[in-house]
Amino acid sequence: MSVKNWRSMNEQDLTKLARKLGALEPESWAHSQIQRGIEHLPRDLFVLLAVGDVIYPDNRHWLAETRSRNPYDPGGEFGPAIDRLLAAGARVEDLTSIVATMQMSLLVNLCVLLDDPGELEPEVCDVRWRLFLVEESNAPDTPIDRLVEALWEIVWTGAESRPLQPIWTESFQAKGTGAWRSMNEQELTELFRQLGAQEPEGWARSQISEGIPQLLRYLFLRQAWRQIIAPDDRDWIIETHEDDPDQRDEFGEAIEAMLAAGAPAQDLTTVVRIMQWILLFRFCVLLDGGLAFRTGAGFSTLQELVGFCWRLSLVDDNDTPVAPIEGLHESVLETDPTGREMRPQEYFRNLDTRDPPG
């Protein structure tokens, strides 16, 4: 299938594609595509691929797949944290339920973010972006929005629980001056610093010398990281624990079981944060044109997906694409708001003593 003929796919073609991509109800998904109109396929296919990166409730392979051989690598805290949780009596099924729910919660908010940048500083409050299907000529073609609507039709039964409700940002787009478009390197450096960039000089220098829209890349990734739980955040656990026991869903029951087993909250937060980071990275790969999808043996590609490519673009007031926002997956780690690139604190302590780990 190429981008030229995807509009001619029938229900049987769509069912085969959905089945290969691991959709839980491929026939229903395909039938829905035909009923609503094939023009929605680019949006729904993007969402289907994104959902494929979320851990499913019956998946147990993620525990082994996520372990790093080097505890000082990004995400290296995962293995020790899992070991302590299991040693404390945590059940794998509860861990999986919690991670799956928190990953899906993040995915919902990332889809919202594609439609609305959220609250931005006055200096950049006029920045807006949209997701587009890209033509074979590499030019943005079909705008794609309202991804959350497509997401609800794909998630598994029970995933509509409270933690999955999107954080709607009710932001209004103020009329900014657009001064960021013509800033010199010194002015950009100061703006990046105000926005919280770890290395503002590097971001500004790259934008000026290489012509890469680093401000747009940074803004999207910063807003995306704000949807991931922070290392010291316990509210996501406490709020669930304080709920009325009679009103708890599967997610709440899993949290309650973990706390009853004496599972360390710090380790649970570490595991969820790492799994959300992994999902953000894969989401950005998809935004950058990557079409790999999860299979039982890892990741694969499909010939049927050739010709499908999505791209995030800056848009003007008429939603016309102005500049591509690319290479997002390359900067996910460097925009970690802790500045640690998802490495454990001990890694930096060793660097300070001039004895870096291997």
Residue 258 vs residues 60, 223, 261: alpha-carbon distances, Å? 17, 30, 5
Domain that holds residue 280: 58-146+161-290+309-352
pLDDT at 153: 74
Listed as ranges, residues in the chain with pLDDT below 50 are 1-4, 156-172, 354, 356
Note whether residue 105 is domain-resident. Answer: yes
Note whether residue 337 is domain-resident. Answer: yes
pLDDT at 158: 37
Q: Fill in the amino acid letter for 237.
A: I
Give the total number of structural domains in the chain. 1
* Alpha-carbon gap, residue 55 to 98, rounded angstroms: 10
Note whether residue 11 is domain-resident. Answer: no
For the stretch 162-215, pLDDT in tens is 344 444 444 445 566 688 999 999 999 999 999 999 999 999 999 999 999 999
Say which residue the tokens 């008429």 belong to. Answer: 318
pLDDT at 160: 41
pLDDT at 245: 58
Note whether residue 25 is domain-resident. Answer: no
Note whether residue 315 is domain-resident. Answer: yes
pLDDT at 175: 60
* Alpha-carbon gap, residue 13 to 6, rounded angstroms: 10
* Alpha-carbon gap, residue 276 to 101, rounded angstroms: 10
pLDDT at 4: 42
- Say if residues 133 and 308 touch (Cβ distance below 8 Å): yes
Note whether residue 270 is domain-resident. Answer: yes
pLDDT at 301: 65
**Residues across the chain:** 358
- Say if residues 293 and 282 touch (Cβ distance below 8 Å): no
Note whether residue 278 is domain-resident. Answer: yes
pLDDT at 169: 45
pLDDT at 352: 58
**pTM of the prediction?**
0.89
Note whether residue 330 is domain-resident. Answer: yes
